[in-house]
């Protein structure tokens, strides 16, 4: 999840001002978080609240309205501020950039150990996409990104949006140095920092809580 946020912040200043080089500073003074960070945090909160369809809708609308100028696409922005709770058949990359929290609850080793959401993590990935991006290609984008994260973990191992997607995969494969995490964290405001603090505790419970007897039958 932090990888997506890092990528979003680093890529924020290059959206529609693309550069054809790898030689650039990761963090500039004018970097900022965008809709990619906001919706990644929204998905994390939805997962913590139960990971059902209404949880995703409620969280996305809540955080979308908290950050109305984060840079949403036109159709998604209209959906956020409407009373409509139905998807609009999008197949853009928005579902992929926000999906990384769902990878943590897929049926990996720790999920088997905890007994929490066994074998249905992929259903949460699909739900996180389908509340808006219900076109089959939009769902596939989210599923493919989450699968890449899971596969990277199992092996041991648009500029802001593309960087957010790539960052989430890189975090799973390689981890993120503390200095990069700390620097990205400094760009966030208190409500988003609060989501990250709660997410850290939530994941810690998943990783270190043993399954109950009824979960291991």
> Which pLDDT tens digit goes with each residue over 98-117?
788 877 665 444 455 555 54
The reported pTM is: 0.72
Contact 60, 49 (CB under 8 A): no
> Which pLDDT tens digit goes with each residue over 181-216?
898 899 999 999 999 999 989 888 776 654 444 344
pLDDT of residue 43: 92
- Distance, in Å, from the CA atom of 170 to the CA atom of 163, rounded to the nearest integer, reads 10
Contact 206, 111 (CB under 8 A): yes
DSSP single-letter state for residue 135: S
pLDDT-derived band at 217, boundaries 50, 70, 90: very low
In a domain, 62, yes or no: yes
**Backbone dihedral region of 156: left (phi > 0), alpha (psi from -120 to 50 degrees) or beta?**
left
In a domain, 178, yes or no: yes
Least confident of 84-88, 107-111, 121-125, 178-182: 107-111
Half-sphere exposure of 51 (CA within 13 A, CB side): 21
b/e map of 85-120 (b: 16 or more CB within 10 Å)?
eebeebbbbbbbbbbbbbbbbbebebbebbbbbeee
In a domain, 10, yes or no: yes
| Residue-level length of the chain | 217
In a domain, 21, yes or no: no
Contact 40, 4 (CB under 8 A): yes
Contact 78, 57 (CB under 8 A): no
**H or E element at residue 164:** helix 159-174
pLDDT of residue 161: 75
In a domain, 70, yes or no: yes
- Distance, in Å, from the CA atom of 160 to the CA atom of 35, rounded to the nearest integer, reads 9
In a domain, 59, yes or no: yes
Q: Which residues contact 217 (CB under 8 A, 6 or more apart)?
A: none
In a domain, 19, yes or no: no
Q: Which residue has the higher pLDDT, 35 or 215?
A: 35
Q: Which residue has the higher pLDDT, 9 or 135?
A: 9
Least confident of 18-27, 63-72, 140-149: 140-149
Mean pLDDT value of segment 39-51: 91
Instruction: Report the mean per-residue pLDDT for the chain.
Output: 75
Q: Which residue has the higher pLDDT, 66 or 152?
A: 66
pLDDT of residue 156: 38
Give the rounded percent of residues in the chain with a pLDDT score beyond 70.
Answer: 62
- Distance, in Å, from the CA atom of 32 to the CA atom of 19, rounded to the nearest integer, reads 18
Which range marks the domain in which residue 83 is found? 2-14+32-215
pLDDT of residue 157: 38
Output the domain CATH number for residue 139: 1.10.4080.10
In a domain, 22, yes or no: no
pLDDT of residue 59: 95
- Distance, in Å, from the CA atom of 151 to the CA atom of 110, rounded to the nearest integer, reads 14
Tally of domains in the chain: 1
Q: Which residue has the higher pLDDT, 174 or 201?
A: 201
Mean pLDDT value of segment 145-155: 43
């Amino acid at each position: 999840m932090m990888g997506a946020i890092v990528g979003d912040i680093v890529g924020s200043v290059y959206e529609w001002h693309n550069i054809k080089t790898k030689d650039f500073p990761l963090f500039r003074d004018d970097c900022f978080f965008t809709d990619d960070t906001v919706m990644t945090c929204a998905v994390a909160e939805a997962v913590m609240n139960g990971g059902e369809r209404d949880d995703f809708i409620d969280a996305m609308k809540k955080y979308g309205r908290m950050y109305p100028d984060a840079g949403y696409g036109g159709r998604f922005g209209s959906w956020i501020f409407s009373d409509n709770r139905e998807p609009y058949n999008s197949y853009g990359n928005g579902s992929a950039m926000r999906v990384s929290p769902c990878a943590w609850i897929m049926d990996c080793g720790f999920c088997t150990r905890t007994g929490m959401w066994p074998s249905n993590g992929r259903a949460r990935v699909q739900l996180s996409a389908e509340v808006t991006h219900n076109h089959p290609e939009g769902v596939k984008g989210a599923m493919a990104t989450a699968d890449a994260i899971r596969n990277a973990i199992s092996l041991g191992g648009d500029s802001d949006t593309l960087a957010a997607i790539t960052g989430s995969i890189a975090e799973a494969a390689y981890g993120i140095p503390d200095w990069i995490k700390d620097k990205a964290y400094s760009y966030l405001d208190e409500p988003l920092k609060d989501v990250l603090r709660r997410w850290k505790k939530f994941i810690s419970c998943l990783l270190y809580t043993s399954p109950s007897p009824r979960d291991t039958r």
